Chains A and B, each alone.
Chain A
């Protein structure tokens, strides 16, 4: 398991290639990359705040849960904080497995849990001012799929 919480930009392609190396029994890798979306009014910046003492531990617990539920050779989670701009990568998940079904399901699960259970908060600044991104009821309901 590789979990990185970082301010720096990452290269999703390079991360995938590095993750895929030396995994001889792996037949499938699924990756998801989340990007900063532009919004109406023009996004001037997105500030991502996190809870440094808790963030990595919370992500590791979610990744460990995924490893218990599916047959995974490895899991990678990268999540950024700090000031980001439209089109920047925010986060990335990669799952490696013998077959694709486990890799897809685990990546889906990880995304649902990272959305609502990893301690990050987003604040968007546009021409209209700054506002915190509210959590959606749908995001909380998505977790019920896995119970």
Chain B
């Protein structure tokens, strides 16, 4: 599964994209796996209420299942316009 990070999430984790092998059932489970890896992930995901997630390029939420998902993206609330 590809994971993408944008804006300050990308800066805290230190990379824009990575591919991971995971059995995580939901987005929250995936976040827990990442947080357990290294401090930089813990720093990026310290407050998930400050984050948004997209699954296969559609906005979703942290309870959503990951079955069949190929691309997960984490980012702060968007500031377009």
A residues at B contact (CB < 8 Å): 34, 49, 51, 53-54, 57-58, 79, 90-91, 111, 114-123, 132-135, 140
Contact = CB atoms under 8 A, between A and B. Distances in A.
Nearest to A119: B78
Contacts of A140: 77
A53 B6 CA distance: 13
Contact of A54 (B7, B54, B76, B77): B54
B: interface residue count bin? 10 to 19
Contacts of A123: 7
27 contacts: A49-B6, A49-B7, A51-B4, A51-B73, A54-B54, A54-B57, A57-B57, A58-B57, A115-B79, A115-B80, A116-B78, A116-B80, A117-B59, A117-B80, A118-B78, A119-B6, A119-B78, A120-B79, A121-B76, A121-B79, A132-B7, A132-B76, A134-B76, A134-B77, A134-B79, A135-B76, A135-B78
